[in-house]
Each structure stands twice: as structure tokens, then as C-alpha cells.
Amino acid sequence: MAGPWHTFGTLRLTSPEDGLADEPLRFDPVLYPLPGLQWPIALQGLREPAYAAARCTPAQVG
């Protein structure tokens, strides 16, 4: 597929009118894998330290 780019939509990011933000979400696929899926042991060993560090760090909003 080649040719010039064409705009096909607009994304607007806004905050809620009441000024309240949702609680931050965290996803940890090592600790909570999707049902039926399993990390290969070698990859789990590589990723676990990063996810463990993220669990110890407060989530930032904004």
C-alpha cells in the first residue's frame, strides 16, 4: 500500500467535567496471565523483575 496519507478521524483527549480522574490501571501479564495463556519460563524470568519494580512504584496520573 503506497500513496499519500489521508486524515480519517480525529482524537480529542479531554478531562471529565467534574475534574475527577479514574484510578490508574495496572496490567501485569506475568502475575495475572490471560486465561489459557502461559509465559515461556525464559521470558517470565526476563520480564518478572520489571513488573515487580512497577508494582512497587506508585502509578502516576496525568
What's the grid cell of residue 14?
Answer: 479531554
pLDDT number for residue 53: 85
Tens-digit pLDDT string for the chain (62 aa): 688 988 889 988 877 777 677 777 777 887 788 888 888 888 888 888 888 888 886 765 55
pLDDT number for residue 10: 92
* Helix ranges restricted to H, 1-62: 41-56
What's the grid cell of residue 62?
Answer: 496525568
Residue corresponding to grid cell 490508574: 24
**What is the C-alpha to C-alpha distance for residues 14 and 55, in angstroms, rounded to an integer?**
28
**What is the C-alpha to C-alpha distance for residues 33 and 27, in angstroms, rounded to an integer?**
10
Ramachandran angles phi, psi of 4, nearest 5°: -70, 155
